[in-house]
Amino acid sequence: MFKCKGRIHIEPPFYCDYGYNIEIDVNFYANFSRVILDVNKVVIGKNVMFGPMVQIYTASHPIIAEERIKGLELSKPITIGDNAWFGGGVIVCPGVTIGKNTTIGAGSVVTKDIPENVFAAGNPCRVIKKLK
């Protein structure tokens, strides 16, 4: 399945495309109902926590209908830094990097990179405040 460096706990159910594109460092906790579409690489740092129903999507499709109808699939990697915490229902879109020590508020849709040491939330997700 996925590559893991140490202690992790994932509450069921857990869904992924392949599994072998997921790398998890030590001390990872994921609450119920996880989806990780790992068409591309997903790297999760140390001490990361996911609330329930967090969804990580590396996969995408062309926005132009004629291209999409051809069955093309796109993907971009996702990186989640050490000590990140995601509230329930967070969705992370393809190509996003989340900085270390960052908290993402419940229900957020992360469409762009989020720096380290911040609290970010919303749809689309944006930095609300810097953390000490």
Q: Which residues contact 16 (CB under 8 A, 6 or more apart)?
A: 2, 22, 35, 36, 37, 38
Confidence category of residue 6, pLDDT binned at 50, 70, 90: confident
Confidence category of residue 5, pLDDT binned at 50, 70, 90: confident
What is the mean pLDDT of the segment spanning 38-53?
98
What is the mean pLDDT of the segment spanning 80-91?
98
> Which residue from 114, 123, 113, 65 is spatially nearest to 90, judged by alpha carbons?
123
Mean pLDDT for all residues in the chain = 95
Domain boundaries, position 20: 3-130
Task: Please state, in angstroms and rounded to a whole number, the distance separating the CA atoms of residues 3 and 71.
Answer: 29
Total domain count for the chain?
Answer: 1
Q: What is the pLDDT of residue 39?
A: 96
Q: What is the CATH number of the domain that holds 118?
A: 2.160.10.10
DSSP 25: -
> Catalytic pick from 7, 9, 61, 112?
61
Write down the residue that tokens 């930095």 correspond to: 127
pLDDT at 76 over 80: yes
Confidence category of residue 1, pLDDT binned at 50, 70, 90: low
pLDDT at 130 over 70: yes
pLDDT above 70 coverage of the chain, percent: 98
DSSP 67: H
Per DSSP, which regions of 19-125 are E strands? 22-24, 28-30, 34-37, 42-44, 49-50, 55-57, 59-60, 74-75, 78-80, 85-86, 91-92, 97-98, 103-104, 109-110, 118-121
Is 9 designated active site? Answer: no
Segment (H or E) for 68: helix 65-69
pLDDT at 4 over 90: no
